[in-house]
């Protein structure tokens, strides 16, 4: 996997993330910072998903542990998140493998609730009724099997700060993509909730080092507009991001080879060591990418301060 692959890694699975922004609504220029941070986090999650799939195997009895990227997001929530799980399945029309998959999804959500440290609440809806069906449709969940009896629903909606995201239809074929898709949905809802709060355009505190970094990155700062300066800083951050992904990709490939070799040697100790190395690379890569996003955010805030101070 290379940087280009990660740059194009978006959730195109059947449980595509759906937000509640009106179609065609343009993004406001003031939302550049959350959008950049979300993009970087989403790409990192995609990278960790592809790696995680190489050595985690899901089972009903022992679901895989949450990735470092997901636990990192859940451990830093600054607002409550409600996850609404709609698992309304008619046993007479829904195959047993789909019902088993629904059980594993429930286990995964339980892990989210536990890792959220009281900030994540899972609400489960499993009974058939007109009110529950109406609630599912209102939350953007897609009905299926309408022609075989009761309309069935298997999807997730989450709410944070009045903002809603949904995974309208979950299917077993894309089970491995569920965690990164769900975590991305959470980060999107959080970012949009932050943007919608009164005072979201508040000026951040800027330290001297960021002011110096901006002046160094944009020597002709006074001759450029805020928009042009922001683009230069974003481009520079993207170069750093691509390099970080490239370095993580190389480290992951080496670690994966060692894991495959340990599996061939049937050495339990070697397999555990190789798996732990993969976890460490994931965690280090995630921290590095998060730091790039944070630095970009701080430097753009410094740029805004410098432009406001200009006569």
Q: Can you tell me the distance from the alpha carbon of 168 to that of 19, in angstroms, rounded to the nearest whole number?
A: 10
Contacts 24+ apart (CB under 8 A), 132-141: 132/86, 132/88, 133/88, 135/86, 136/86, 136/88, 139/84, 139/86, 139/164, 139/166, 140/18, 140/20, 140/164, 140/166, 140/168, 141/86, 141/166, 141/168, 141/169
**Mean pLDDT confidence for 203-219:** 71
Angle between helices 208-217 and 226-264 (to 10 degrees): 100
Same domain, 39 and 124: yes
How confident is residue 210, by pLDDT bands cut at 50, 70 and 90? Answer: confident
Question: Per the structure, how many domains does the chain have?
Answer: 2
114 and 180 assigned to the same domain? yes
Asked whether residue 1 is assigned to any structural domain, the reply reads no
36 and 174 part of one domain:
yes
Dump pLDDT digits (tens) for 172-193: 988 888 888 898 888 888 877 7
Determine the 3-state secondary structure of 160 from DSSP. strand
* 203 lies in some domain: no
45 with 178, same domain: the answer is yes
Q: Which of 175, 196, 217 is a domain's end point?
A: 196
Q: What are phi and psi of 9, to 5 degrees?
A: -80, 95
* 202 within domain boundaries: no
Q: What confidence tier does 2 reach under pLDDT thresholds 50, 70, 90?
A: very low
Both 127 and 91 in a single domain?
yes
In a domain, 4, yes or no: no
Beta bridge partners of 122: 83
Lowest mean pLDDT among 42-51, 93-102, 129-138, 234-243: 42-51
Q: Do 114 and 153 belong together in one domain?
A: yes
Q: What is the mean pLDDT of residues 43-65?
A: 48
* Close Cβ partners of 44 (under 8 Å, ≥ 6 residues apart): 69, 285, 286, 289, 290
Residues 181 and 37 in one domain: yes
Domain that holds residue 143: 9-196
Q: Let me know whether 189 and 219 are in one domain.
A: no
Residues 79 and 33 in one domain: yes
In this prediction, residues 84-112 reach a mean pLDDT of 95
Other Cβ atoms within 10 Å of 203 Cβ, number: 9
Look at residue 3 and tell me if it is in a domain.
Answer: no
Given CA atoms 78, 79, 80, 81 in this order, what sign does their dihedral have? negative
Alpha-carbon distance of 226 to 293, in angstroms, equals 19
Kindly state whether residues 186 and 215 are assigned to the same domain: no
Kindly state whether residue 46 falls inside one of the protein's structural domains. Answer: yes
pTM score of the predicted model: 0.53
User: What pLDDT is stored for residue 18 in this prediction?
Assistant: 54
pLDDT tens digit string along 140-170?
999 999 888 889 999 999 998 888 999 999 9
User: What is the rounded distance in angstroms from the CA atom of residue 17 to the CA atom of residue 140?
Assistant: 10
Residues 189 and 285 in one domain: no
What CATH number has the domain bearing residue 173?
A: 3.40.30.10
Residue after which a domain boundary falls, among 172, 196, 220: 196
- Tell me, yes or no, whether 201 lies in a domain: no
pLDDT over threshold 80, residue 38: no
Q: Would you say residue 100 lies in a domain? A: yes
Task: Tell me which of 196, 216, 246 is where a domain ends.
Answer: 196
pLDDT of residue 58: 40
Same domain, 79 and 213: no
């Amino acid at each position: 996997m290379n940087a280009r692959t990660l740059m194009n890694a978006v959730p195109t699975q059947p449980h595509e993330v759906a937000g509640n922004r009106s179609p065609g609504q343009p993004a406001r220029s003031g939302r550049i910072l959350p959008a950049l941070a979300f993009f970087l986090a989403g790409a990192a999650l995609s990278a960790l998903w592809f790696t995680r799939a190489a050595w985690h195997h899901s089972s009903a009895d022992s679901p895989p542990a949450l990735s470092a990227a997901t636990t990192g997001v859940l451990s830093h929530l600054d607002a409550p998140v409600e996850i609404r799980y709609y698992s309304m399945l008619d046993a007479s029309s829904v195959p047993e493998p789909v019902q088993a998959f629904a059980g594993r999804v429930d286990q995964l959500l339980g892990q989210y609730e536990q890792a959220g440290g009281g900030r994540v609440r899972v609400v489960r809806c499993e009974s058939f009724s007109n009110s529950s069906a109406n609630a599912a449709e209102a939350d953007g969940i897609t009905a299926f099997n309408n022609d075989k009896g009761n309309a069935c629903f298997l999807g997730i909606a989450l709410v944070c700060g009045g903002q809603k995201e949904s995974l309208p239809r979950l299917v077993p074929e894309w089970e491995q993509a569920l965690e990164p898709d769900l975590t991305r949905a959470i980060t999107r809802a959080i970012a949009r909730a932050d943007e919608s709060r009164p005072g979201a355009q508040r000026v951040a505190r800027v330290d001297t080092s960021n002011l110096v970094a901006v002046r160094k990155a944009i020597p002709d700062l006074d001759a450029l507009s805020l928009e042009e300066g922001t683009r230069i800083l974003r481009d520079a951050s993207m170069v750093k991001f691509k390099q970080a992904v490239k370095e993580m990709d190389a480290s992951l490939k080496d670690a994966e080879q060692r894991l495959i070799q340990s599996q061939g040697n049937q050495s339990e100790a070697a397999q555990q060591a190789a798996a732990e190395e993969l976890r460490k690379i994931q965690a280090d890569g995630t921290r590095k990418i998060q730091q790039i996003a944070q630095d970009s955010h701080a430097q753009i805030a410094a740029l805004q301060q410098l432009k406001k101070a200009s006569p």
